[in-house]
Amino acid sequence: MNRFPRVMGMRSGYDPIDVDSLISRIEATLGRGGRELVPVTADEVRRATFRARRGGYNETAVDFALEAFVVALETRAKAPVPLAMTEPTGEMLREEWFETQAARVERVAFRSGRMGTGYNEDEIDAFLDRIVATLRGTTDNPLTGQAVRDAKFATVLVRPGYLIADVDSFLAGIADVLDQRY
């Protein structure tokens, strides 16, 4: 079965047997194939390597497909968990709670995108700095939760970039936090 385009001539590409085997496991995990195969995790897909074979699958096509499968596996593996706690009460004052959220934003680390694709790191870092300033109340131009949800970022190819699914998931939780701020 040819799932991906093949490389031309005498060039080497990914071994189709290795790739098809992994894709079958992914499809089974996602409920699109036979259940008799061993389930696969998103981390296993990220670490996957394939033997080279003359006339094999085009590496770029396979890598882009695997990135999409990683997103699907991560989405399936965990239901969205609200990152925002309920409104602070008791011993934790409101401003202290927002400070803990700002510290969490400062500590966040995103994985790199596969094959050098992802959000522009400098753009995301600058946006996170604006979120921290908003949470701490130290900006004249605060962000709202809706502004975070509507934000669009440049993507990069070949250069290092943050994994799009990681950034989007994190920002969705932070938008909920900002909704409680304003």
99, HSE (Cβ side, Cα atoms, 13 Å): 5
pLDDT at 88: 53
pLDDT at 131: 94
Mean pLDDT over all residues of the chain?
84
Domain ranges of the chain: 12-77, 94-181
pLDDT tens-digit profile of 128-158? Answer: 999 999 998 888 889 999 999 999 999 888 7
pLDDT at 87: 54
pLDDT at 89 over 90: no
pLDDT at 105 over 50: yes
Task: Count helices and strands (H / E) in the chain.
Answer: 7, 5
pLDDT at 127 over 60: yes
| pTM over 0.85, yes/no | no
State both tokens at 107: 């500590």
Give me the mean pLDDT over the 104-121 stretch. Answer: 84
pLDDT at 77: 63
Give me the mean pLDDT over the 4-28 stretch. Answer: 90
Contact present, 58 and 13 (Cβ < 8 Å): yes
Rounded-to-integer distance, Cα 51 and Cα 68, Å? 21
Confidence of residue 34 (pLDDT cuts 50, 70, 90): low
| pLDDT above 70 as % of the chain | 86
Q: Which run of H or E residues covers position 71?
A: helix 59-77
